[in-house]
Amino acid sequence: MLNKLDSTVFLSLKNSKNKLGFFKRGFAASRKLQITQENEKSPKPLKGIRVLELGQLIAGPFCGTILGYYGAEVIKVESPKLGDPLRIWRHLDADGVSPWFRSMSRNKKSCEINLRTAEGKKLVGQLANKSDVLIENFRPGTMEKWGLGPDELYKTNPSLIYTRVSGYGQTGPYAAKPGYASVCEAMAGFRYINGFPNQAPVRPNISLGDSVAGLTAALGVVMSLLARNKLSSSDNLITGQVVDVAIYESIFNMMEGILPEYDRFGEIRQPSGTTVTGIVPTNAYLCLDGKYVIIGGNGDSIYKRLMQAAGRDDLTTKKFATNKDRVKYQELIDGAISEWIKTLTSKQVIEKLEKADVPCGSIYNIEDFANDNHVKERKLIETIRVGKNRSNGYDLKVPAFAPKLESTPGGTLWAGPDLGEHNREVFINLLELKEHDIKKLQDDGIIGKTL
């Protein structure tokens, strides 16, 4: 339905074909403004979905973070007194908690339950019965040992999406091995191809395998929820399923053409430093000011524009026409580009290449990224408040999540909670425990003291 302003524009322009473009742009701008203004109160896509998060550190919790960002209610079960080890990883803030944890656990509710006690397991089972999704990233077999495996929980909650994140999956000869992302990245072949020939493999300075596994798990959860909804409505069934996510498999999914190339040609992709095997030119080039610029000039027409900008029309002849041709002359082409770029500052290089419509860019550190105008315009950094009030808290910048959904956007509502901050809400409001029962559970060390 058009609002009053849109109706006026429509009536004045509907008979003016030459002004139709203006009308479309005006309507689109009005719609964009309306969407922007309503984002905070828009419905979230996962609203009404309750997630029970039993994981710790990164892989499992990252799945919960994504689901919570898009509206799911995420109840994070933590060990009394200690909590998730991520709370004290790396730099600690003034309150003694890692800002990484505050970011990772945003939009989550923290409750303390001792899973190593019979009563604690019983409480978790009760929470699972009231949940749509369960996330765990313990070593395979642990949940079964605790009587909380899928076969047991499906007896009382057959619609549960039981999400399991581990190093090597729930089956196979490696299932019981401890699964750390660094080791799983190595098995998947990712570490082998990173670095320079004849040198030690290089690792990224982030826990990539854990994050990719968490993202894979979130995808599995959403697909399972869609399947559950479809089956429930069409066949009158209520069905849950296990989502089995292995870190090494999640990384292996990113390894593009490596397997089929090996299968057909026996080729084992090798580390290639700053380049990509079989694609020319794409590299990091050193500029006059000591900074590097990344150039992706591998498209045929892009390559031609790149070499013209570099004043090397001699390298645009027929023998350089396609990527297949250029691979034979990689050293020559990269050498020519390097010779040109080292005479210019990084700013000059980018200005010249952008004018020629050649993909290029600076290599950012986090300070560069956080201060980039495009990043700000896209609202990729959110500021949240840590602490219960303005006087004793602090502001914290955290990354927003992709994708950006137009009508049902995600968002950060609160920072990662204090340990046990939501004990009362979970135990009294959700599980409907009585005060005297809670007191006994606290005295017995089964739940946390915070209430």
> Any idea which residues carry the catalytic annotation?
210
**Residue corresponding to tokens 């742009």:** 25
Whole-angstrom distance, CA of residue 353 vs CA of residue 40: 39
Whole-angstrom distance, CA of residue 433 vs CA of residue 430: 8
Whole-angstrom distance, CA of residue 86 vs CA of residue 103: 11
CA distances to 87, 173, 340, 384 from 399, in Å: 18, 38, 37, 10
Q: Which residues of 84-98 are buried (b: 16+ CB within 10 A; e: fewer)?
A: bebbeeeeeeeeebb
Dmax over CA atoms of the chain, in Å, equals: 86
- Structure tokens that stand for 49 in this block: 């979905």
Whole-angstrom distance, CA of residue 124 vs CA of residue 54: 9
Q: What is the DSSP track for 195-264?
A: S-TTS-----SS-HHHHHHHHHHHHHHHHHHHHHHHHHHHHS----EEEEEEHHHHHHTT-TTHHHHHHH
Whole-angstrom distance, CA of residue 109 vs CA of residue 429: 13
What's the first-to-final CA gap in the chain, in angstroms? 48
